[in-house]
Amino acid sequence: MLTKLVFLVILSLASQCLTEEVTVSVKGVTSIANTDDNFVCATLDWWPVNKCDYNQCPWGKAGLLNLDLKNKILSNAVKAFKPLRIRIGGSLQDQIIYKVGKGVKHCRHFKRRKEGLFGFSKGCLHMDRWDQINGLMNETGAMVTFGLNALYGRKKSKSDDTLWVGNWNAQNARDLMNYTVSKGYKIESYELGNELCASGVSAKVTAEQYAKDIVELKNVVKELHPDPSSQPKVLGPAGFFDKKWFSTFLENSGQDYWCNGNLLLYEGNDPGLIDKVQDPFYLSQIAQTFKDISDIVKNFGPWSGAWVGESGGAYNSGGKDVSRTFVNGFWYLDQLGMSSTFNHKVYCRQALIGGNYALLNTTTFIPNPDYYGALMWHRLMGKNVLSATHNGSPYLRAYSHCSRDKPGITLLLINMSNSTTFDVSVANDENLYPDNMKCNGGMQREEYHLTPECGNLQSDVLLLNGTPLKLTESLDIPSINPELVDASSPIKVSPDSIVFVTLRGFNAPACA
């Protein structure tokens, strides 16, 4: 019996210590796609305190109308990106009235209304609050996308309770934009409506009508911003992808603007959520959607570009025990890597703060693990996307970009296996000399190993090269420094870990 027990223990330990050698081939000759310089984006939403799902109310005072805009951690977290792209919008944006101009007489705060969209009445943005929001944006240097109310002036169809008909009334938006210009506030882009395409979520608009309305918005933007060099972009439709609707919209719009969609893959209270976010086969299902959007933009709107306007992974405010923890980084960073390979220009994470999927803790504002993942991507991964492939386990994901602002390339390696360590060598696949592709670079490489505290995948404390990332005494974002490693040795990617690696000596003509 003793021998049998010892034998079983040895087998168990051995199964946890597997090592697989993998060669990742990076094609540095040409890029396969390009992102915007500010690819990483985070959202701020309108949800009030009483936005509740699954017997919880996870938004607290994180909605735009009650968020503490003077919180030092919030300010420092945004400043660290230099700059961070922020999308202001969400489900309730089509119920926001702007208290500006002569046309608005009644403007009240959100109330619970059974017959209202998403269970709420219309809400009000007063200009003193708009001043405060822009104060934070100006102080932190954020790039702002503002989502406009696209249902203003429309009425519900008599034959379809979710279809809204009639032309968009641009007057309230024009008044807000006029005020914004008069104050010198900088809005990088305007988005028309939220989740109104195809079958909609709570409301919808036909593709032909939406195309007509976005042309109207583009004309207003041109009128108020006559200088093309400072003219805000125009975005739409900010909804879930539907091939027929998007194609019709692009064919009818004929304008220079950016096409964005929303992606939510799971239900927030899904008991299998923790397994899905670390299952490479499940995560790969979204690849076809990224490709379809990219193809439609190329075929029907080559003047435009594709964005992911909102993605929190799990809808209804995220999964409370998963979305704010280390394990969610497998999904999030894989999404950044995958979408960039399909030429998506921007990826907006729902949310910067609020709900269970926030980059910052909704109550304390302390960064969650995905905040640091987003920050490292922003600082390390440039806009030129390179092909990175390997023939090893599907549980090892590999993405590569030209390094941001410095020579060489940066790799993102995601190990979703809980039992296998990958020893990764990097080959410069120039398709010229296939028998001589090993790349040592001739210098030290920079490694950033991300793991959860105590090995707990549901920890909200992230370790960088074994050290917890915590705010400084002055509430600043901590320094993010690499470990320097001999470039001739393989990159050791431990089970359940994420690694950024910068290779300065990698010869990549696409990065020159």
What is the rounded radius of gyration, in angstroms, for the C-alpha atoms of the chain?
24
Per the annotation, the verdict on 447 as an active-site residue is: no
Tokens for 41? 């984006």
Query: SS3 string of 92-105?
Result: HHHHEEEECCCCCC
Instruction: Name which of 388, 383, 409 is nearest 504 in CA terms.
Output: 409
Instruction: Name which of 167, 149, 133, 141 is nearest 65 in CA terms.
Output: 133
**pLDDT, averaged across the chain:** 92
Contact 16, 417 (CB under 8 A): no
How much is the average pLDDT of 108-114?
Answer: 93
DSSP-derived letter for residue 489 is S
Whole-model pTM: value is 0.94
Is it the case that residue 265 has pLDDT exceeding 80?
no
CA dist., res. 398 & res. 57, Å (int): 37
Neighbours of 457 (CB within 10 A): 18
Orientation angle between helical segments 328-341 and 369-380, nearest 10 degrees: 30
Per the annotation, the verdict on 139 as an active-site residue is: no
Is it the case that residue 308 has pLDDT exceeding 50?
yes
How much is the average pLDDT of 103-120?
Answer: 92
How much is the average pLDDT of 34-53?
Answer: 97
H or E stretch covering 291 = helix 287-300
Q: Is the dihedral of CA 331, 381, 509, 296 positive or negative?
A: positive
Q: Residue 225: which residues within 8 A CB-CB, separation 6 or more?
A: 181, 231, 232
| The predicted structure's pLDDT at residue 8 | 42
Is it the case that residue 434 has pLDDT exceeding 50?
no
| The predicted structure's pLDDT at residue 435 | 41
Is it the case that residue 10 has pLDDT exceeding 60?
no
- Give the model confidence (pLDDT) of 492-503 as tens digits: 999 999 999 999
Is it the case that residue 392 has pLDDT exceeding 70?
yes
Contact 58, 362 (CB under 8 A): yes
Is it the case that residue 388 has pLDDT exceeding 70?
yes
H or E stretch covering 309 = strand 306-315
| The predicted structure's pLDDT at residue 105 | 87
CA dist., res. 135 & res. 43, Å (int): 17
CA dist., res. 219 & res. 132, Å (int): 28
| The predicted structure's pLDDT at residue 257 | 62
Tokens for 196? 């109104």
CATH superfamily to which 36-382 belongs: Glycosidases (3.20.20.80)
| The predicted structure's pLDDT at residue 109 | 92
CA dist., res. 75 & res. 81, Å (int): 11
pLDDT band of 300, cuts 50, 70, 90: confident
CA dist., res. 332 & res. 283, Å (int): 10
CATH superfamily to which 15-32+387-511 belongs: Golgi alpha-mannosidase II (2.60.40.1180)
pLDDT band of 302, cuts 50, 70, 90: confident
The active-site residue, picked from 115, 139, 195, 430, is 195
| The predicted structure's pLDDT at residue 14 | 43
| The predicted structure's pLDDT at residue 255 | 66
Domain map (residue ranges) of the chain: 15-32+387-511, 36-382
pLDDT band of 344, cuts 50, 70, 90: very high
| The predicted structure's pLDDT at residue 303 | 83
- Give the model confidence (pLDDT) of 72-99 as tens digits: 999 999 999 999 999 999 999 999 999 9
pLDDT band of 122, cuts 50, 70, 90: very high
Tokens for 441? 């670079």
Is it the case that residue 351 has pLDDT exceeding 80?
yes
The active-site residue, picked from 310, 430, 446, 447, is 310
**Type of residue numbered 138:** N
